[in-house]
Amino acid sequence: MNETLNTSEIQDFELAYEERYARVLVSAEKKIVICELLADYIPIEDFKEAFGQIGKIVKGGSFEKFIFDKRSLRAFHQPTMEWYFIHWKKDMLAYGLKTHRKILPAEKWFEKMVQIAKQQILETYPDNIIDQLDIQYCDTIEEAIKL
């Protein structure tokens, strides 16, 4: 677990799901789901499986904010991001998950790849839901919880 997850900010969060690639914490009181990726690369099918489980958690509660901690990643996979952005976020929006906070790896190339991929997705899928979401980037879990 990242050192930032050992703070008082998450002391009331409960472990909801954990497997090889992801750890998910929830706070029903704060209406927040935190997903921390645990590997430097996640095959797309494993990513979809993990996010299917997260989707079940979201559907079973009244969550409004999703914090996605991607700091462990060292590889960028466009099809995975596209599926997450176009399909998963749209599905979760129907359950009230509108606020998304992302924590990226420190490497600047990763941030650049995210920007390029996001632009391509917006051009390829003009009927996307980005205007209905509050998406911001943060440096820590604490910042993401507060923002």
**Residue that has been written with the tokens 């906070």 in this structure:** 101
The number of distinct structural domains making up the chain is 1
Please provide the average confidence, as pLDDT, over all residues in the chain. Answer: 90
Whole-angstrom Cα distance, residue 72 to residue 42? 10
CB of 14 closer than 8 Å to CB of 5: no
**Of residues 32 and 128, more confidently modeled:** 32
Q: Which of 7-11, 13-17, 119-123 has the lowest mean pLDDT?
A: 7-11
E strand segments, the chain: 14-18, 22-27, 32-37, 65-69, 99-103, 134-138
The domain spanning residue 71 has which CATH number?
A: 3.30.750.24
C-alpha to C-alpha distance for 75 and 26, rounded to whole angstroms: 26
Residue type, 123: E
**Band of pLDDT at residue 4, cut at 50, 70 and 90:** very low
What is the reported pLDDT for 1?
42
Q: Which residues pair with 131 in a beta bridge?
A: none
Query: What residue type is assigned to position 7 of the chain?
Result: T
Q: Where in the sequence is the domain holding 52, given as residue range(s)?
A: 3-146
- The whole-number average pLDDT for the span 19-39 is 96
Residue with tokens 């507060």: 146
Distance CA 104, CA 140 (A): 9
pTM of the model: 0.90
